[in-house]
Amino acid sequence: MKLLRYGAPEKEKPGVALPNGKRIDISEFVADVNGALLGNLDRLAIWVDANQNSAPAISLNERLGPPITGVSKLIGVGLNYAQHATEAGMTLPTEPLIFFKSTTAITGPYDNVIIPKGAMKVDWEVELAFVIGKKAQYVSREQAMDFVAGYLIHNDISEREYQFERAGQWVKGKSCDTFAPLGPYLVTKDEIGDPHRLNLWLKVNGELVQNSNTADLVFSIPEIVANISQYMTLLPGDIISTGTPFGVGFGLQPPRYLKAGDVMELGVDGLGMQRQLLVSAVH
Ligand code: ZN
């Protein structure tokens, strides 16, 4: 299934995109797409089968919001593609390098991305992200995929000065408002055969700048779940982003950063596409 949320920001309603492209409202089944729903996907599938012709259709013109809400944690994995670690001038971590992003950075897949006031080094990062479906603590690699409910695209937008040149942790450069476009869909696990065999790409103003495959991940999804769940409890609806491949602006010579008016387009096999316009912050 492809779960989605639609409507005005913070007033989104839940929906499903059917295989034929039609989108239907599922408000009669559930109030919103959140972690609790991920424990109930079998019943939702039955409901969709029975009600897809009578449920209200969603206009394709409706804004899509982030496809899940109530996210307790948004966790990034850094330097998880070897060629990207090289372009960043860093050595490969020996276990997953993780960082937090603020959940207030989450935004819809086609919403404008705001360049923070005074920011000069805003950069792009197409990523495969996955969503935890049930509470995970001390999970083994062998069991790990049982805790994954589905997948979605995440553009892990980053302000490189805030990330690297200010004191402290990467979180500063990852958490600005609109720095985490998610979606368009939360695609349930059953629809994606092998998540470690997906092409992912990103264009800036029509120019292909990232073009890779999740086969090149250093740490696989089971390894990431097993590792992080040793350090913290993962809850249904938590999102973990698996890292970006080679081709970010920071790695170019000279580096290239985003400015107002630029457009990013990005996609991952089976998960759809995103598109964002860069705009300046208004204060
Ligand atoms: Zn990233």
Q: How far is the CA of 25 from the centre of ligand 1 (A)?
A: 32
Q: How far is the CA of 79 from the centre of ligand 1 (A)?
A: 8
Q: How far is the CA of 26 from the centre of ligand 1 (A)?
A: 32
Q: How far is the CA of 22 from the centre of ligand 1 (A)?
A: 32
Phi, psi dihedral angles at 76 (to 5 degrees): -105, 150
Q: CA 128, 61, 158: angle at the middle one, nearest 5?
A: 35
- Please tell me the predicted confidence (pLDDT) of residue 88: 87
Q: How far is the CA of 105 from the centre of ligand 1 (A)?
A: 14
Neighbours of ion ligand 1 (CB under 5 A): 76, 125, 156, 244
- Please tell me the predicted confidence (pLDDT) of residue 85: 87
Phi/psi-derived region of residue 223, left when phi > 0, alpha when psi is between -120 and 50, beta in every other case: alpha
Q: How far is the CA of 27 from the centre of ligand 1 (A)?
A: 33
- Please tell me the predicted confidence (pLDDT) of residue 219: 97
Q: Report in angstroms the alpha-carbon separations of 39 from 42, 52, 133.
A: 8, 21, 6
Domains with residue ranges and CATH for the chain: 2-51 (no CATH), 74-280 (3.90.850.10)
Q: Cα 276 to the chain's mean position, in Å?
A: 14
Which residues are bridge partners to 202 per DSSP? 210, 266
Q: How far is the CA of 215 from the centre of ligand 1 (A)?
A: 16
Q: How far is the CA of 29 from the centre of ligand 1 (A)?
A: 34
Q: Which tens digits make up the pLDDT trace of 11-60?
A: 999 999 999 999 999 999 999 999 999 999 999 999 999 999 999 999 99
Query: What is the mean pLDDT, run by run of 10 residues, along the chain of 283 residues?
Result: 98 97 98 98 98 97 98 97 89 94 98 96 98 98 98 98 95 98 98 97 98 97 98 98 97 96 98 98 82
In this structure, are residues 76 and 243 in contact, taking their beta carbons and an 8 Å threshold? yes
pTM over 0.95: yes
Please name which of 137, 133, 241, 244 lies closest in space to residue 189, comparing C-alpha atoms. 133
Element at 212 (helix H, strand E)? strand 207-213
- Please tell me the predicted confidence (pLDDT) of residue 283: 66
Q: How far is the CA of 127 from the centre of ligand 1 (A)?
A: 7
- Please tell me the predicted confidence (pLDDT) of residue 141: 98
